[in-house]
Structure 1
Amino acid sequence: MAPDTIIEIDPNAVERGERIGLYWHDKAAALGALMARDGQNDPIKVRPGRKGGKPFILVAGLHRLEGAKRADLATVKAIIVEGDELQLRLIEASENMHRRDFGPIEKALFVRALADVYEAQFRAAHPEGTQQQIAARARWEAEKDRVQHSAETLASLEAENAGETISHAYGWVQTTAEALGMTSRSLRDYLLIHRQIIAPLPDHYEDLARHPIGQKRKSVMELAEIGDLDNRRAVIDCLLEYPLGLTIAQAKEIVGIREAKLGQSPLPKGPVDRVFSNLNRWSSNDWTSAAPQIAAAVPDKALDAICDALLAERKARQGGQK
């Protein structure tokens, strides 16, 4: 059978398998009604099933599949795809990444999944890596392990690292954020949401995603910026207990929280701290375009020190070569 050949199969012959995103009953019902009325425009993607199981396993198109079942459709259009687990996971994540109807929590699931897939593929293809990549990886690991970093700073570092990995793996000229159709700031936000809410609170994030507050990126970011995990959990529990009418501020007041956001200090930051806090959010394009201004802004007395530091950094990235 030729690649991308569309076939028609029994919806009940497809096993759901593990999914990255969430399942929305109303969305499936609406899609099923549309498919029954207008036909199916986009085929689902399946892979051959396991021995002793159903003939097919779903790769992408959960809501179309379940919608077809709800509408009692005899068949569903499908494309059979093959590949290893990483390739199939990439298909699911890539197909869903640009969907406009996803809330911030589900978007964060797919951003994290894409970063994980690209990272694994890059490591498999480049087990040793170039000297520059090894040096960059060493600096990333060293930064990540410093206990003084806030989760917000770690997310910024992680976003930069993921961007470089994806660019190497797929040869993208643009930054990762641009390739995913988002800003570098939004990429950092989604990684922070995953780090602060999805990963540490597996029993909470799905319910939060279905809550009105969980469908607003600004509100989810406010929750992610609650530094203490127990406080974060308590506020989310409070919001879920009162699904209508409570604001995050009211939930904080109910549970008795008085704390600073992530990355905030009771003492004012110095000028160097403020500068580096912003620089962590720059993309490679930002650095390139600002290079002449940065060079011109260096005072005469600091010029030699800056040049020496840059030359030493270049030497380190090139593995000690001149």
Structure 2
Amino acid sequence: MKNISISDFKVTTAISLKDLPTSIDLEASEKKKAKALNKLREKLSEHQDIMYAHNKYSVLICLQGMDTAGKDSLIREVFKEFNPRGVVVHSFKTPSTLELQHDYLWRHIIALPQRGKYGVFNRTHYENVLVTRVHPSYILSENIPGINSLDDIKEEFWEKRFEQINNFEKQISENGTIILKFYLHLGKEEQRQRLLRRLNKAKHNWKFSPGDLKEREKWEEYQKHYEEAINKTSKAHAPWYVIPSDNKEAARILVAKVILEQMQQLEDIREPELDDKVKQNIELYKEILSQEKN
């Protein structure tokens, strides 16, 4: 398999999405890719068990991408070896009535992972500078003071949101949450093919909505706002990775590799040691249990 450096996908300077690839050839057979992914997720699972026992860090995985980018299947395949207690997935859809009674970050804050656990956000707080940017009328339902019409939503409004998001991520990072953000970079033609497959296969018809086509018409607008959001919020403590996603198997390997290598850099994560007194009496405890009658 092709040697991959995760730094090739990390956003450290301003990027232009149209200049970045949506596909990558890993130079491996399907069998080899499946084997590579399996090895990565086993290592991730082992590391998460240690992190759970260590109980000082949590991990927030943020996934964004256009419709059909493969977020759901990526979550299923990358995290399938995890102990169920170690990972919690949240899929954020249209805000509920309750959620709209709070600020836009509230529902994300209460879903943050506990120490020792992974939290996966399938669509994230970035929807509030993406979908609402394409459909600014959605902002009016948030009932924000001073925002009474679309005319009140000026450029300064979005700049303030970027600042708030950066501050939010900085705060949770400083308190032990490892943040890794992935944009699944899908080509427009590949999306067309995936939408067609949803229509051509009866068992996948339920995934299709006429609204998918309406949103597809706004492809360029979404790309513009994704690019801006990534450029303004990729920080050392909360980096963005732009993952070529025309090939789902390759995208899963890349995401798993990024997560594993980033977590392995945290050298202080280790299993807690037994209390000296307990350690000294291990043989005694073994003897007690061995002599216990059924």
TM-score exceeds 0.5: no
Relative to total residues, which structure has the larger helix share, 1 or 2?
Answer: 1
TM-score w.r.t. the length of structure 1 is 0.23
TM-score w.r.t. the length of structure 2 is 0.24
| Structure whose CA Rg is larger | 1
Relative to total residues, which structure has the larger strand share, 1 or 2?
Answer: 2
